[in-house]
Structure 1
Amino acid sequence: MKKEKKNEKEILSQELYDRLKDHLYSKRPVLGEDSPFSELLQSMVNQVLEGEMSSFMNEERASSRKNKRNGKTLKKVRTNSGDIYVETPRDRNGDFEPELIGKRERELSSGLDEQILALYAQGNSIEDVRRLLIQMYGVEISAGKISQITDKVLPEIQEWRNRELKSFYPIVYLDAIHFKVRNEGKYSSHAFYTVYSVDWQGKRDLLGLYVQGSEGASRWGIILEDLKRRGIADVLVMCTDNLTGFSEVIGEVFPKTIVQKCIVHQVRSSLKYVDSKDIKKVTMDLRKIYTAPTLEQAESALLAFEVKWSNKYQYIVDQWRGNWEELMAYMNFNSGMKKMIYTTNPVEALHRIMRKLIKSKAAWVSQTALTKQLYLSLMHNKKSWAKKANGWTEIQRSILEKYSDRISEYI
């Protein structure tokens, strides 16, 4: 009888071996739906559990305790090779505690949670993640369970949001990008307030994760106060767009900070009402202003622009003169620093990551869902935006030469 069972087991093993071989030669994914690898894993897991029970019963007999086997409990367990059915051996006294998969565990430790978070970080919706898990691993997990797994990152987000910041930053970029959130069938715009910094060592970092309603100077004021609360005492230069009231809010929280308004934003605003036939010429003349090597030459270029275009485009002259000090702030720095601060474009490395999310879905079910996915996506792609600034040592020297008294207490 025992020999017959052994032969039967050998036949089944050979059959599984043949199926595994055929599956490999078929060039289909090793893991996923219909893969025999889950059957192989199931067989191995059950054999290991059987081995654990045998070892346990040997110890029971050695200690003279009265105990016997008491059948098995069948349960479905998730693995990244697909769902498997595990037969957990039982003992009459109920003392056996399997190590491989505990009595109440429903998942074989396999990094499946990490896979779910990685898929979610790539901009996939909960339903997309559920479908991909079936395709890649043959594992079916409910949308509710996937949502619970992604919720595990919320304490981490809260800790990261409240972490202590450095006392001094040479450069901080302030900008916003907008997303749609669905609430009770209605869509509303939510702004992600980007605070992107360069510290004294030249390392770039994202200083917070602020998701609120539509963008406004007053909301930026609340964010700047939070940055101050978390340890920032001074910022040398803050680079911003031309949002109304932005400079005043910055001055209230960080009175010593130099505000550099984005030249690119200003040029776009200037060209907004220019006739198509004049755009090329106006653009070239504006370029002469912001590429001038000195402030005096930039002023001369603006005067020349006024003489040439004021009859038709006086509003452009008024825009530049009204914001002149903050548009030309970068002129007081060396060429390396000029390139870094004359525009908020460096923050686009972050926004490109986030725009990928916009393309994949129209709206998020809640602000919390948006926050989770933004955080995971940013951390998943951190290498692309957390790089050290190029030529930073030379920029450090130029800052020290001009602002040594101001920053000496921080460095």
Structure 2
Amino acid sequence: MAKREKISAEREQVVNALLETYDIKSAEDIQEALKDLLGDTLKKMLEVELDEHLGYEKGQKSSSTNSRNGFKDKKIRTHYGEVNLSVPQDRESSFEPMVVQKRQKDISRIEQQIISMYARGLTTRQISDQIEEIYGFDVSESFVSNVTNKILPEIIDWQNRPLDDVYPIIFIDAVHFAVRHEKIIKKLAAYVVLGISKEGKKEVLGLYIGENESSKYWLGILNELKNRGVKDILIMCADGLSGIKESIQVAFPNTEYQRCIVHQVRNTLKYVSHKEKKSFAADLRSIYTAPTEEKGHETLLEVQKKWEDRYPNSMKSWIKNWDILSPIYKFSPDVRKVIYTTNAIESLNSTYKRLNSQRSVFPSDQALLKALYLSTKKATEKWKTPLRNWGKVYGELSIMYDGRLPE
């Protein structure tokens, strides 16, 4: 049992006075009492600030040309709701209070609360309703939108920040969202570019919202990475994004393009009956975990033969894309695991998918970008340590791609 702390005599006196003055019967009464006391406390603190500004206390004589000039009432937002505050004034209007600054109408950190809720995918309407429910004052949807718009310059700076010269591995993945555009709801893909640095740490390099994939589109993104300082990428891991293979060959001709194994498996199992998925998935695993490319291809043909009667088209994509599925065989299990599990990006995608569960439609591309950026920022706060066994992975990549990684 936790030891009960003994309340000090001074605090007990304050609590007793509070109970007696406000006739407190419930937790709600305590909130109202604190709300009432907050206004008086702030007023007293402002008066002390004004004394220091003028150089003399109220009632004292002074040769200063400046003096007190009454009070100005204003409403401020606090954690306890709206509070009426009397702010002391001076005749020369040179007083710049610190505890509640001029034109400051909010001391509740409400803007941080709004941004946090927006990062979780809440709509402006939902945020407005929650603020009213929690704090007891109205916040318009336009106010919420204006608050979140303040991060737009931050997003621009983040999207244009300098990058490392070399990334051993980069993943590109997509999550789809419904976005309203000119009164029409469209499905747009949000592409996340995630790099594994030379130190083995994950880093989101950029977020891009696009409608049509093409070689030109991907070349523009890859050239942007080059303009931000990226000179070399050893391995680029992505799903079958239209035009990306050709764009990599142009922008980074020495980069190995590896088709994402996880997506390949998911796409294959998409139309397999539930009762056979486990067995089919085990057969697919035997392909990409084979010790050599030759054995992997042999296994692929065996799997195709086994399942083609029930699922005649299931393995066609494996055969068609074998050239970009097979680079993985040149690596050891440590490197393969980094590439084909895509654990690095899956946790991030789960964060983005939660946005979809919170709101069915985003009102604009900009609204989606703001939500994605804030979600990314929150999700990546814990990314402090390198990937597991990164020393082994880095050593193998240094030998495999001789001269392209610093010793």
Q: Same fold (TM over 0.5)?
A: yes
Correspondent of 1:47 among 44, 54, 79 = 44
Q: Distance in 2 between matches of 1:53 and 1:171?
A: 59
Q: Distance in 2 between matches of 1:87 and 1:317?
A: 75
Paired position in structure 1 for 2:297 = 299
In structure 2, relative to structure 1, the CA distance for the partners of 1:139 and 1:303 (3 Å cut) is: same
CA contact (8 A) 1:189 1:214 kept: no
Secondary structure of the equivalent of 1:404?
coil
Q: How many residues align?
A: 391
Secondary structure of the equivalent of 1:374?
helix
Which residue identity lines up with residue 399 of structure 2 in the other structure? E
Paired position in structure 2 for 1:73 = 72
Deviation, 1:263, is: 2.3
Q: Distance in 2 between matches of 1:284 and 1:161?
A: 40
Structure 1: state its 5+ residue gaps. Answer: 1-12
Q: Distance in 2 between matches of 1:380 and 1:159?
A: 17
Matches within 5 A, 1:232-311: 232-271=230-269, 282-305=280-303, 308=306
| Residue 206 (structure 1) aligned with residue 204 (structure 2) | yes
Paired position in structure 2 for 1:136 = 134
Which residue identity lines up with residue 70 of structure 2 in the other structure? G
Deviation, 1:304, is: 3.0
Paired position in structure 1 for 2:81 = 82
Q: Distance in 1 between matches of 2:153 and 2:186?
A: 26
Deviation, 1:20, is: 6.3
Deviation, 1:98, is: 3.4
Q: TM-score normalised to the size of structure 2?
A: 0.84
Which residue identity lines up with residue 74 of structure 2 in the other structure? K
Which residue identity lines up with residue 217 of structure 2 in the other structure? R
In structure 2, relative to structure 1, the CA distance for the partners of 1:281 and 1:97 (3 Å cut) is: closer
Per-residue deviation, residues 149-187 of structure 1 (Å, max 9, x unmatched): 211211111111001111111111111111111234321
CA contact (8 A) 1:261 1:343 kept: no
Which residue identity lines up with residue 45 of structure 1 in the other structure? L
Q: Distance in 2 between matches of 1:325 and 1:63?
A: 88
Per-residue deviation, residues 188-208 of structure 1 (Å, max 9, x unmatched): 122111111111110011001
Paired position in structure 1 for 2:9 = none
CA contact (8 A) 1:130 1:146 kept: yes
Paired position in structure 1 for 2:180 = 182
Q: Distance in 2 between matches of 1:134 and 1:382?
A: 30
Which residue identity lines up with residue 203 of structure 1 in the other structure? K
In structure 2, relative to structure 1, the CA distance for the partners of 1:355 and 1:385 (3 Å cut) is: farther
Paired position in structure 2 for 1:22 = 24
CA contact (8 A) 1:173 1:195 kept: yes
Deviation, 1:317, is: 5.0
In structure 2, relative to structure 1, the CA distance for the partners of 1:302 and 1:36 (3 Å cut) is: same
Secondary structure of the equivalent of 1:328?
helix
Q: Distance in 1 between matches of 2:228 and 2:92?
A: 56
Structure 2: state its 5+ residue gaps. Answer: 1-14
User: What is the root-mean-square deviation in Å for CA atoms of aligned residues?
Assistant: 3.1
CA contact (8 A) 2:124 2:144 kept: yes
In structure 2, relative to structure 1, the CA distance for the partners of 1:145 and 1:65 (3 Å cut) is: same
Paired position in structure 2 for 1:98 = 97
